[in-house]
Homo-oligomer: A and B are copies of this chain.
Amino acid sequence: MVTKKSYLNNTKKLERIPEKELRNVCFKFFQKMSLSNVNAKIISDTLIDNDLRGVYSHGIMRFPTLVRNIERKKINPKAEINIVKDFKSTALIDGNNGIGQLISCKAMDIAIKKAKFYGVSAVGVFHSNHSNSMATYCMKALKKDMIGFYMSTGSSNIMAPYGGYDAKLGNNPFGIAIPTGSMWKFPIVLDMACSKRAMGWIMLALKEGWKNIPKNFALDDRGNPTTDPKEAYNGTLLPFGEYKGYSIAIIVGVLGSVLTSAAIGEDFNNLDEESMSEQNIGHFMGAIDIGKFIQIDDFKKRIDKFIMYLKSSRKLKNVKKIYVPGEKEYETYEENIIKGIPIAPVTLESIKEVANNYSIKINF
């Protein structure tokens, strides 16, 4: 993910646009694609909510590419999403090359229903597309007092196996959302990729003409460390935590795509704006019904106490605050909902172009 800090520090001339305006452009576009209001809202909300949470790499920035893929029929926005295997607490879903967000939302709704009935659930998905941030789907479980988890094969093979320098693995992100109580204000929401930084961040660096990325994030095509975003783009990203992040990426790949019959490894077509090949991305998700293990009120008291205990740690020099997963995103949300969403010029231009092409009235 492009985090708030790197985006705000590195991107020039950001303009803040009210979230409602951006939501409206997306919603109107999908209405014009004859999607139901419910589905148009799901896609708009998942994109803009990511921007509100400061996950700019998976927000409105992805909208113009989605528009283009629908226009040239690379993705079918009206695809039927079918359950092809329905067992007790598991299911396998064929996304039929539809829009990732719609597929993932439907799959997570099924996972939540199954967890309510059976206690825990696991739902696999194939023939899907990039579904943006993991957090979106995990967080659906929170309203039902459940823990939600979601993992996906990344949209391109961009990471080398540990010790190598061929891009053979996705960054294979995973997420989990856990409810908290009234003492601690935000749920725990973890959403991370297995590369140190996302390829979306390298792409942003390229689009925006940054000269350098920090060292230790990428190798060039000959296996040498590089700080040049173009060399990094043509090379490979490094996993977080060395062989540990590499190992987790393998596990996510196996659950997300080997188990679900989706594309992986040499059969995987990288996300390529020019190609018409279907990606056949796989996901693996589920929910755990907390009430089947412990009274929900008791759970919430216990997790709040644990969080406050962690946050009470003595802090290293120059550290102002001990964070827990998701906290920064909630803080950014509170800021962006008031100030508007900071948009890079290159993204703003693309959005205006879509609005113009589809006669969508905008106020920015």
- Contact residues of A with B, CB < 8 Å? 85, 87-90, 92, 117-122, 124, 147, 160-166, 168-169, 176, 178, 188, 190, 192, 196, 223, 240-245, 247-248, 250-251, 253-255, 258-261, 264-266, 286, 288-290, 292-294, 298-299, 302-303, 305-306, 309-317, 319, 321-325
Residues in B whose Cβ lies below 8 Å from that of A164: 310, 313-316, 319, 322
Which chain B positions have C-beta within 8 A of A162?
322-323
Chain B positions within 8 Å of A196 at CB level: 241
Chain B residues with CB below 8 A from A316, complex form = 163-165, 223
Asked whether A250 lies within 8 Å of B188 as measured between CB atoms, the reply is yes
Are B302 and A258 within 8 A (Cβ)?
Answer: yes
Q: Is the CB of A306 within 8 A of B253?
A: yes
- Give A5 to B260 CA distance when docked, in angstroms: 36
Closest to A318 in B: B163
Q: List 5 A-B contacts (CB under 8 A).
A: A90-B292, A147-B259, A168-B313, A241-B244, A253-B306
Q: Point out which of A192, A196, A258, A266 has the most chain B C-beta atoms below 10 A from its C-beta.
A: A258
Q: Which residues of B contact A119 (CB under 8 A)?
A: 87-90, 122
Is A309 within 8 A of B266, CB to CB? yes
Q: Is there contact, CB below 8 Å, between B178 and A319?
A: no
Contacts A120-B122, A258-B299, A266-B309 aside, 13 further interface pairs with beta carbons under 8 A come to: A88-B117, A89-B119, A90-B292, A90-B293, A92-B292, A120-B120, A163-B322, A164-B310, A188-B251, A244-B245, A259-B294, A259-B299, A265-B310
Cβ B188 vs Cβ A310 within 8 A: no
In Å, the complex CA distance between A192 and B249 comes to 14
